[in-house]
Structure 1
Amino acid sequence: MNVWNAKDSVYFRGPLDVTRAATAVLDAEGWVVGWSPAAEEMLGYRSDEIVGHPVDVLFAGGRSWQPGLAEWRDAPNVRSNAVDLKHRDGHIVRSATMMSRLSDGSDGPAWIVVAAELDEVHDWEAGQAMLRGLATQSPISLTIYDTGLRLTWANTASGREFTEPVENVIGTLSQDLYPGGEVLTEGAPSTLEQVMRNVLTTGEPVVDLRYRGRPPADRAEDHVWSCSYYRLQDARGQTLGVCEDAFDVTDRYLAQRRLALLVRAGSHIGRTLDVARTVTECTEVTVPDFADAVVVDVVEGVTEGEEPGQVCPDPLLRMARRSADGVPEGDPSGTPSAERRIAYAADSPQARSLSSGRQVLEETGSGEAGPLPDAEPWAHSVLVVPLRARGTTLGLVTFLRGRTSARFDSDDLSLAEELATRTAVCIDNARRYTRERTAALALQRDLLPRHIPPQTAVEVAHRYLPAHLADVGGDWFDVVPLSGARVGLVVGDVVGHGLRAAATMGRLRTTVRALARLDYTPDELLTRLDDLAEQTSEEQTAARRVSGPATDSGTYDDPALGVTCLYAVYDPVAGRCALARAGHLPPAVVTPDGMLTFPELPSGPPLGLGGLPFESAELELPRGSLVALFTDGLVRGQDHDVELGLERLGRVLSEHEKPLEELCDQIIAELLPEGPAADDAALLLVRTRVLDSHEVAVWELSLDPEAVGRARNLASRQLRSWGLGELSFTTELVVSELVTNAIHYASGPIQLRLIRDRSLLCEVSDTGHTTPHLRRAASDDEGGRGLFIVAHMVQRWGTRYSAAGKTIWTEQPLPPTDAL
């Protein structure tokens, strides 16, 4: 720390001060009678060489001693006393001189003359002018406080901030001059008193401290100053006080605030595609940094994704209201209600802004009621800005100032317009997203199974969760009743999101159901589904080639390419399940004894990509086994990978004895506590059942025409034992026709099987692979009428194939319970 010493302090007395200037004492005739060491240093003459000689020997240019001239006596400006003196070695010394009379007598010392080099005097004069300028002309406020932090001096600029002369406030404590002020610099002490005491104690200066307050001369408006503080000490190092220099940077501070507010608005408003949340984000940004309160109203249909009219015929809906000292109001759900509908008077600024499509500023007197029906009485400035996007008014935002804020100026109007435009664009994006997502959700929910009828083979529970932060995806699940009391289980995941993904999901689900009803095995079904996806891709490529390069190729990309799918067929008679997958995650299986496995199924490629063929695998599932089929949106999250998701799923499935609906809820709560973030999720839980032996009857028949009669008798006897004698006639006719066809067209053993399920199933299996065709026989045909008659007497019929041959099956509804 540097401290002034006596030598440094001499500078403030000036170069012509007698303690530092070259000094000569003259008698009345101009003879030198005294000579200082400083004079010897300046002109080179020792005292014994000049004392007793006339002073004229020191003048250059033949100038002589003339004590009567006015410029030598009491000259107010040292510049007018420029004199050229001769050094002892002969060179000229440009000097400034002053003289003063010591006595009027003729004897002894009569005059004292002081001299200094002219350049040094000029430098000192410039410094003095600078000090006078700081005190009287500088725009920087300079204030000096003593060690008790009482005002001791203030320059002219600082004095303008007081309502009375500076001498009347001398001695006032610093904290009393600007009451209620606030230090804005982060990390600094909270009050100016603490700041200055730290400077007095440590000696460390403080630079560019931002301080906000209201000076005595302008108590109505906030000002912001850039303040610096440094300690003052005398020549002996004693602390005298602290000096404050402050510069009003209110305009710069407000400009920086506006810029920071725009930057914050850009990063904060519109983070989610939700109208209500976007409105709330707008209020969070603008209060209290821009306004003391803000109110946002939107056209009612906007919250539902509807397109508002050009003249806003719909009522406005109050979405949010926030004030600096109040609790924010608003409904994050954005649900319309009669209590939140707003109707403004025709002469209100809101109505004028709606009709003109421009911002409206209304100034009110302090304490007067504002223009809003529920306006705060303190509001003195009300600024209404329409929320417009793509030429359409989406609502209004009303900014209010009053308590501590200045009235809106032209810069504020531009900033409000920018904030409203940014908010309107984000609201419009959210509205359009809401409309598309609502349409996609409606389409997807219509395409997904709304109700799965009870199945004998399995007990079923399911969940589907659409993505929250992304567009609706294409995940789907299905349960398809099959012949022979079997059931088809399917889950799939379409690449991408949005309407096209949902439409693709519906197309694939319909195709899977159609192929499943043809009784294809899982690997065969995926193969044909893969062919369909690949064929669609080739058609898209051809269409792109025909349309030319001007067409966006992305328009033809088929979301069916890369779809993953898992298809399983469970047979409750055999207690076995056949599965095949196309790039999909394997299911989770929990046996009745609690053993959890993720079966190693052959992994085929996703649909439409080609490559390896699909393969089926068979699992034996005891009665009561739990099978979970799911998409990756269930087990993959932003904070964890699939492995961790599968581990969490396994922990929940370990409680497999619980009801399936409860397990579904528990799985969703454990794996997706906040809902899916980036992808939708589908879950299908099934608990297997096995048909009891008394519900199934099987007979082996020989290739003998007599077997037809035996088959009729066996079937009739079994129906009577089941209490279904009412169905004997139709069943005997069906059995007779199917067994006869098997004997006639096939070879090898024949099997007859009856299953009592929710309907009566009749199956005849043989080793042939010839597909029976239903046809209308001509009047002269000897055959061809049997299958036609069978088809009209049963509810459904069909053919399925296996490695051993084929099975023709029929299904008859059971008679009503009260008829049994």
Structure 2
Amino acid sequence: MTGSVPLISESPEDPFSMGRAASVVLDEQGLVTGWSERARALLGYTPDEVYGRSAAELLVDPQDRGLVREATAVCRRDNGWFGFLPVRDRHGVRQHFGLRVRRLTRSTGADEWFLVGAPAQEVAQWELDRRVMDGLFRQSPIGLTIHDPSLVILRINRAIAGIGGITPDQARGHRIGDFLVREDAETIEARLRQVLETGAPMIFTEQPGRLRGEAGERFVSASAFRLDDASGGTMGVALLVEDVTDRHRARRRLAMLNRASKKIGTTLDVETTAQELVDAAVPGLADCVTVDLLQAVDLGEEPLPGGEGLLVRSALKSTAPYPERVMYPVGTLRTFPPDAPQARSLLTRRPVLVAEFDPEAPASGLDPEQAAHARKLGAHSLMVVPLTARGLVLGLVCLWRYAVAEPFEEDDLTLAGEFAALAAVSIDNARRYTQQHRTALALQRRLLPGEFPLHPAVAVAHRYLPAGGAAGVGGDWFDVIPLSGARVALVVGDVVGHGINAAATMGRLRTAVHTLADLDLEPDEVLSHLDDLVTRLAVEHEAWDQGVASEQVVGATCLYAVYNPVSKLCTLARAGHPPPVVLTPDGQASLPELPAGPPLGLGGLPFESVDLELPENSTLALYTNGLIDGPRHDVDDGLTRLCDALSGPPGPLDETCQTIVDSLLPVRPADDVALLLARTRTLDPSRVATWVLPAEPTAPAKARGLTERQLVEWGLEELIFTTELIVSELVTNAYRYAGDPVTLRLIHLHRLICEVSDPSSTSPHLRRARSTDEGGRGLMLIAQLTARWGTRHAREGKTVWTEQELPSRTGSGALF
């Protein structure tokens, strides 16, 4: 800038600029009257050599004069001309020039011609550049806008005009904010100012570019660079814009599908999978999504082939508050009218797109109140996609839009179909797992004991918690088995592995334990027999599954305890099982010293029994390792936590059971858990009578007398005759075949129990006596007179016992 006169720098690329072009002036006759310094440099003639001479004779080769005459004729007709002509220089060399010719009229009325010329190669390149620039504004599909330094629009091309629906003339002199919504315009202008200030270009920045008054979204890819003139001054900024809305939507749909593939099907639970589907689709794809499953699927059963039956609302999600005003809540049973989109989709197994959805239409599937709320909410578009997997229709998913202005389109329907396909396979897997899991649980529950009847030796409470997740049912079990002499067996065990095989093996072991318990074996003997059984089962299983990969049952653990309420002794043995916890009446919990023993199935190793004297109201806790072993702590920590949870003044057993479960276990334990609490009782001394008799011929008579007096005291006179026969027979056998001492015990409970103990280990056998036999009819008589009888062996000697039903008037409920 010099004074007040603005100077504009010429472009160095312009071949007709003053520094690059030759200037010549011709009069009406074609004589040279003006010659520039650049003309001398290009052609070699000085002004003195050309003034007054004919330009045609001086500068045109004779072979090119025809071209000159054609150009001259055009000049006279059009008052000017622009084109290419060969020109001869001072040395006679022909050079091609690009020429611009203009007619000038002097004040005298005479005409002159002003010529500006430059080498043809430079002019051609410049003309090509000009045409390319013109093509950018007229033909380029990429939008281009030129802004001055204040961001006022100077020029836009046709592509921008097509995006915005305006003409180039309408855009000139305006700003971006006059056409875009305020938030998007402010973002773009802030970036353009940064380009103007720093000179650093902006390359392919994607952002919203919504037009004012246009419903729906629009995304553009923007690039910008600063425009500088030849002197380095800033002329403005160029902005290149491409409408990438479709590409953005496609990329967003792909991203949503990728996220959905990670979110859907994370568990083998039908309801959870349905909820994962609606979580993946809202709000990205739809404003409200519901999943309705056939009732059979929700129950884990096989659906009908035609998709018939009631539908259960399994999942619902909406961006609007109080969605239950518009949609039926989760758990609702319903059907759809035959002409509703949902019914058509179920029938044809094909997705249905209702781009313009009328919630108040008769076939909308909504009741009048819901339809009114949907209309008020602005619901305008609906997609229904069936959930199909492995040839079965499982249900359907419905997607609505009300907050997003654009209706659903075919690409949205394709994406919804992908979502549904992912969910359908996962739901069917979950349905199959649920079916199998329920079958296994039903089997396991059938094999586990139910509620235990009242027992005079112990009060019990128990919990069984199946494993959560995909672990499946396990082989944990527990049992309370009544034994002779008012004793009770407490059992807890755990079969290795999970699934149907483990549950079936558990059932076989539990049956075996009952059989062994009926034999009145010692705990270590019971475990020895179980060890043999598990070894045989493993061999059988291996033979069955030859060549087939399957879970091998290789062992089990077990703890077997027998408590005697008369002696207060508890005899325990364990086979690789966690130790019991004993809670004394004063609230002290401890782990008794009890040899661990090998797990069942190893074979050949001995088991040891230990006798514990338990005061009345002691609590014995038996459990499986799932209670104490967890991912966040080891077994020792679990035992400490169990003792802490059990310690304290004894409370109700059921409450104590629940306290232990709540303290030690998560909501869904990783492994099966069996817990059995037994609180010991002792028999009232008035209900037990014990005598030691000498092994002599008078022993039966003494026994009958003692029995009679005791039954009179108990008010059981009706049983005197029968009991005397039983006592006489048992005592007689004892003194004849066993020797001293002979112990007689009577126990008055729900039954009358009679026990005769002797030091012999030989068991009596029931047989039918021949007519010539003098004896052998005693046990046959006892079997006829008693409800049950048997023999149990101790480490020294044996006990023969009987049980008799009490007279009905005495009852049994008040005895313990």
Asked if 1:632 is matched to 2:625, the reply is yes
Deviation at 1:83, TM superposition (A): 6.5
Deviations 1:416-442 (A, max 9, x none): 333223222222222222222222222
Deviation at 1:730, TM superposition (A): 3.0
Deviation at 1:84, TM superposition (A): 8.7
Q: Who is 1:679 aligned against?
A: 671
Asked if 1:668 is matched to 2:657, the reply is no
Asked if 1:583 is matched to 2:576, the reply is yes
Q: Who is 1:226 aligned against?
A: 221
Contact preservation (8 Å) 2:313, 2:329 = no
* Amino acid paired to 2:646: L
Task: Provide the rounded CA distance (Å) in 1 between the counterparts of 2:175 and 2:345.
Answer: 50
Q: Who is 2:531 aligned against?
A: 530
* Amino acid paired to 1:807: T
Task: Provide the rounded CA distance (Å) in 2 between the counterparts of 1:232 and 1:366.
Answer: 53
Q: Who is 1:425 aligned against?
A: 425
Deviation at 1:286, TM superposition (A): 1.9
Give the aligned CA root-mean-square deviation in angstroms: 4.1
Task: Provide the rounded CA distance (Å) in 2 between the counterparts of 1:331 and 1:308.
Answer: 28
Q: Secondary structure at the residue paired with 1:809?
A: strand
Contact preservation (8 Å) 2:356, 2:407 = no
Task: Provide the rounded CA distance (Å) in 1 between the counterparts of 2:202 and 2:163.
Answer: 22
Q: Who is 1:186 aligned against?
A: none
Q: Secondary structure at the residue paired with 2:497?
A: coil
Mean Cα deviation higher: 274-283 or 56-65? 56-65
Aligned pair in 2 of structure 1 residues 215, 660: CA closer, same or farther (>3 Å)? same
Q: TM-score, normalised by structure 2?
A: 0.84
Q: Who is 2:15 aligned against?
A: 16
Task: Provide the rounded CA distance (Å) in 2 between the counterparts of 1:370 and 1:125.
Answer: 68
Correspondences of 1:542-621 after superposition (within 5 Å): 542-544=543-545, 549=547, 552-554=548-550, 557=551, 559=553, 561-610=554-603, 612-621=605-614
Contact preservation (8 Å) 1:85, 1:94 = no
Task: Provide the rounded CA distance (Å) in 2 between the counterparts of 1:115 and 1:56.
Answer: 18
Task: Provide the rounded CA distance (Å) in 1 between the counterparts of 2:805 and 2:324.
Answer: 60
Aligned pair in 2 of structure 1 residues 397, 759: CA closer, same or farther (>3 Å)? same
Task: Provide the rounded CA distance (Å) in 1 between the counterparts of 2:597 and 2:145.
Answer: 84
Q: Secondary structure at the residue paired with 1:513?
A: helix
Contact preservation (8 Å) 1:141, 1:156 = yes
Deviations 1:111-130 (A, max 9, x none): 77554583x55554444333
* Amino acid paired to 1:14: E
Deviation at 1:292, TM superposition (A): 3.3
Q: Secondary structure at the residue paired with 2:285?
A: coil
Contact preservation (8 Å) 1:320, 1:330 = no
Asked if 1:344 is matched to 2:336, the reply is yes
Q: Secondary structure at the residue paired with 2:648?
A: coil
Task: Provide the rounded CA distance (Å) in 2 between the counterparts of 1:58 and 1:651.
Answer: 121
Corresponding residue to 1:211 among 204, 207, 230: 207
Contact preservation (8 Å) 2:97, 2:117 = no
Q: Percent identity?
A: 47
Deviations 1:644-681 (A, max 9, x none): 333332221123422221111111222224232x3221
Deviations 1:53-98 (A, max 9, x none): 56999999999999966769898666x3576979x9x999987666
Contact preservation (8 Å) 2:340, 2:365 = no
Deviation at 1:688, TM superposition (A): 2.3
Task: Provide the rounded CA distance (Å) in 1 between the counterparts of 2:445 and 2:330.
Answer: 21
Aligned pair in 2 of structure 1 residues 206, 33: CA closer, same or farther (>3 Å)? closer
Contact preservation (8 Å) 1:321, 1:330 = no
Contact preservation (8 Å) 1:292, 1:405 = no
- In structure 1, list runs of 5 or more residues that go unmatched: 1-8, 184-189
Corresponding residue to 2:157 among 147, 152, 155: 155
Q: Who is 2:3 aligned against?
A: none
Aligned pair in 2 of structure 1 residues 96, 433: CA closer, same or farther (>3 Å)? same
Q: Who is 1:464 aligned against?
A: 464
Contact preservation (8 Å) 1:484, 1:761 = yes
Task: Provide the rounded CA distance (Å) in 1 between the counterparts of 2:661 and 2:198.
Answer: 62
Q: TM-score, normalised by structure 1?
A: 0.84
Contact preservation (8 Å) 2:61, 2:94 = no
Task: Provide the rounded CA distance (Å) in 2 between the counterparts of 1:176 and 1:449.
Answer: 80
Q: Secondary structure at the residue paired with 2:757?
A: strand
Deviations 1:29-59 (A, max 9, x none): 66996535x986x89x8xxx96755699999
Contact preservation (8 Å) 1:384, 1:399 = yes
Aligned pair in 2 of structure 1 residues 475, 161: CA closer, same or farther (>3 Å)? same
* Amino acid paired to 2:423: T
Aligned pair in 2 of structure 1 residues 368, 708: CA closer, same or farther (>3 Å)? closer
Aligned pair in 2 of structure 1 residues 335, 219: CA closer, same or farther (>3 Å)? closer
Task: Provide the rounded CA distance (Å) in 2 between the counterparts of 1:500 and 1:332.
Answer: 44
Task: Provide the rounded CA distance (Å) in 2 between the counterparts of 1:357 and 1:231.
Answer: 57
Contact preservation (8 Å) 1:277, 1:332 = no
Deviation at 1:158, TM superposition (A): 0.7
Task: Provide the rounded CA distance (Å) in 2 between the counterparts of 1:467 and 1:620.
Answer: 35
Contact preservation (8 Å) 2:81, 2:100 = no
Mean Cα deviation higher: 141-150 or 303-312? 141-150
* Amino acid paired to 1:577: C
Q: Secondary structure at the residue paired with 1:311?
A: coil
Contact preservation (8 Å) 2:358, 2:364 = no
Task: Provide the rounded CA distance (Å) in 2 between the counterparts of 1:784 and 1:204.
Answer: 117
* Amino acid paired to 1:130: V
Q: Who is 1:4 aligned against?
A: none
Asked if 1:767 is matched to 2:733, the reply is no
- In structure 2, list runs of 5 or more residues that go unmatched: 1-7
Contact preservation (8 Å) 2:40, 2:47 = no
Contact preservation (8 Å) 2:459, 2:679 = yes
Deviation at 1:610, TM superposition (A): 3.2
The count of corresponding residues between Structure 1 and Structure 2 is: 781
Aligned pair in 2 of structure 1 residues 341, 783: CA closer, same or farther (>3 Å)? same
Contact preservation (8 Å) 1:364, 1:379 = no
Mean Cα deviation higher: 352-361 or 520-529? 352-361
Aligned pair in 2 of structure 1 residues 113, 397: CA closer, same or farther (>3 Å)? closer
Deviation at 1:13, TM superposition (A): 5.5
Deviations 1:399-419 (A, max 9, x none): 334553544444333333332
* Amino acid paired to 2:556: V
